[in-house]
Amino acid sequence: MLYPHGEPSRDEAEELLRFAVEGRKRIKDQLMRLDMTYASVRFAYRDRSGAETFVRTLEEETYPQYFAGGAGQGEAVQPALPLAEAPADRADAPLADLPQEKHLCFVENQRGVSFDALFGPYLKGATRLVITDPYIRVFFQVRNLTELLETLARQKADDDEVAVHLVTTRDELKGEQQDEYLAEMQRAAEPAGIRFTWEYDASATIHARHIVTDHGWKILLDRGLDVFRRYEMNDAFDFTNRVQRRRSVKGFEVTFLRIPAESESIGAV
């Protein structure tokens, strides 16, 4: 039904295979919880070269403590989560605890993501940031940026000042409302020691989304800050409204790259 021409690509066929295996594995995992006499099953598949891929469900990746000794043993890619409290970037911290260059992938509906854990260690110690994102226009996009500034405020000392400059594009239909949102963010950030400014890219050609810091980090964001699936923003009693880790995410990737400190690319701040 999906590929009536009978010629799906390797990636398309693998996506359907994983979906089918995951569905069967969920049933088997639950049966083994009800009756421990069920035999363990090896959930994996091989390609034509003989390379074997083990299949693990999203819940198994996110909550591995509940799947110890369960089905599907074998080598598997380590999940990006949980992103618990991130280690502080301090002079006496072991090298392994300090921020490192890396690439992270998150899958659809994964939970446990927060800006504090994901970005906090890489923003700590910065005095200037340039955020490039052509889609900071409507309310939820501005709110995502506000939550990033909240993370920055938690990483800095109270008496420090950090300059944050946004490069984005102006909404052709609701530009005045966009101006108001950004001005409100500017006023709200100032008492926290964050000097927020912005500019609209006149060429309207920017596409890449990233964050550049003056102390040597470039964070590449394939979806920008728009990583959370829809949640109820107007319900003050809904935990997903204020606790990011309770939200489900969209599938996204983020790459952390070392660059020269005081890079020319940040000189506009």
What pLDDT shows up at residue 180?
Answer: 96
User: Residues 206-216: what's their mean pLDDT?
Assistant: 94
Q: Is the pLDDT of residue 137 over 80?
A: yes
Q: Is the pLDDT of residue 79 over 50?
A: no
pLDDT band of 204, cuts 50, 70, 90: confident
What pLDDT shows up at residue 244?
Answer: 94
What pLDDT shows up at residue 2?
Answer: 82
Alpha helical stretches, state H, the chain:
10-34, 58-62, 115-123, 139-155, 175-189, 239-242
Cα–Cα distances in Å, from 198 out to 33, 129, 149, 161? 54, 11, 14, 17
Average pLDDT, the chain: 84
Percent of the chain with pLDDT over 70: 86
DSSP conformation class of 65: G
If one compares 205 and 95, the residue with the highest pLDDT of the two is 205
User: Residues 245-269: what's their mean pLDDT?
Assistant: 80
What pLDDT shows up at residue 97?
Answer: 61
User: Residues 83-92: what's their mean pLDDT?
Assistant: 42
Sorted by sequence, the CB contacts under 8 Å of residue 261 that are 6+ apart come out as 214, 215, 216
Enumerate the domain spans of the chain.
10-66, 95-266
What pLDDT shows up at residue 266?
Answer: 56
CA torsion, points 51, 52, 56, 62, in degrees to nearest 10?
-50
User: Residues 135-160: what's their mean pLDDT?
Assistant: 95
What is the rounded CA–CA span in Å between residue 163 and residue 217?
15
- Give per-residue burial for 194-230: e unless 16+ CB within 10 Å, then b: bebebebeeeeeeeebbbbbbbbbbbebebbbbbbee
* CATH class of the 95-266 domain in this structure: alpha beta
What pLDDT shows up at residue 30?
Answer: 81
Query: Which residue has tokens 């083990």?
Result: 54
User: Residues 174-199: what's their mean pLDDT?
Assistant: 96
If one compares 209 and 91, the residue with the highest pLDDT of the two is 209
At residue 18, what is the residue type?
R
Q: Is the pLDDT of residue 268 over 50?
A: no
Q: Is the pLDDT of residue 258 over 80?
A: yes
